[in-house]
A and B are shown apart, each in its own frame.
Chain A
Amino acid sequence: MDVGKAIVEATREVFSTMLMVELDAGTPIEGKGGDVDSNITSMLGLGKDIRGMLAVHCPAGVAKDITGTFLGMEVEEIDEDVKDAIGEIANMVAGNLKIAFAEVGKDIELAIPTSIVGSSFRTSGMFGAQRFAVPFTMDGAVFLIELKYMDTE
């Protein structure tokens, strides 16, 4: 399975269907690298055959743009709406990845998303986990979708 390609397709489908936005996807990165200066990160845990975490890392401007497009209104600050909207993006991308992994016989359970706001934090996954990250560009600004996982089978 091409995990990087699956992340690209999963994310682009969410944005084209729910936000009517065609995202530009960068080259998927396997291993370290590609980090963006994030002001909000929404993540959700994955369990069962694939254990790990999917995270959406957004600079404030992108997070507000996504939320504004989602809700059809101007968004001026990182508030509860923004945390909720980015969390829902993480949820839907993870849902699409769950379908992609199911096609290769892997069953994934999804947790409920959590959002963190700030400028001085980092997320870390399990030791030995595989990492894939894909940068996406929306209106000239970059955000990152990151998948860290271990195959438990």
Chain B
Amino acid sequence: MGKNVLLVDDSSTMRKIVGRSLRQAGLDFDNIFEAADGLEALDVLDKEQVDIVLSDINMPNMDGISFLREKQGRDAVKDIPVFMISTETGDDIIGEAKSLGALGAIKKPFTPDKVNEVLGPLM
């Protein structure tokens, strides 16, 4: 059985581009779920089997850092790996994301090769 990925970004354009980059990188996901903010992402995690999350940081309603914090408090989903995919690259904010369980970060703009380099080892 293949894996399922959840893309969390308030930009629908960026969700489409990340999805396309996953396919171009040869990463074969069975399902690509989408959420526009952290709140929607938590809802998807409650309802669907998700194996990997790619999340933006700057989002309305619930940002990526708050999403990580909420997810950490939910036993059923806290171990699902998360990578941040964001224009935010500062050591402070990425460090905070990692302290809340994020495994790493991909900087926007990005190439499919970069996506493959980061996610490939998990597939």
CB distance from B89 to the nearest CB of A (A): 6
Residues of B in contact with A, size category: 20 to 34
Q: Contacts of A110 on B, CB cut-off 8 Å?
A: 58, 87-88
By DSSP majority rule, is chain B's interface helix, strand, loop, or mixed? Answer: loop
In the assembled complex, the Cα of A107 lies from the Cα of B92 at a distance in Å of 11
**Which among A84, A94, A99 is the interface contact of B12 at CB below 8 angstroms?**
A84
Cross-chain pair count, CB within 8 angstroms: 58
Q: Contacts of A102 on B, CB cut-off 8 Å?
A: 90
Q: Contacts of A84 on B, CB cut-off 8 Å?
A: 11-13
Q: Contacts of B107 on A, CB cut-off 8 Å?
A: 95
A85/B58 in contact, CB under 8 A: no
- Which of A10-18, A26-34, A138-146 forms contacts with chain B? A10-18
**Which among B16, B86, B88, B110 is the interface contact of A71 at CB below 8 angstroms?**
B16
Residues of A in contact with B, size category: 20 to 34
**Taking CB as reference atom, which chain A residue is nearest B9?**
A88
Tell yes or no: B14 within 8 A of A by CB. Answer: yes
In the assembled complex, the Cα of A11 lies from the Cα of B107 at a distance in Å of 15
Q: Contacts of B60 on A, CB cut-off 8 Å?
A: 112
**Taking CB as reference atom, which chain B residue is nearest A99?**
B89
Tell yes or no: B69 within 8 A of A by CB. Answer: no
Tell yes or no: B119 within 8 A of A by CB. Answer: no
**Which among B14, B87, B110 is the interface contact of A94 at CB below 8 angstroms?**
B87
B13/A85 in contact, CB under 8 A: yes
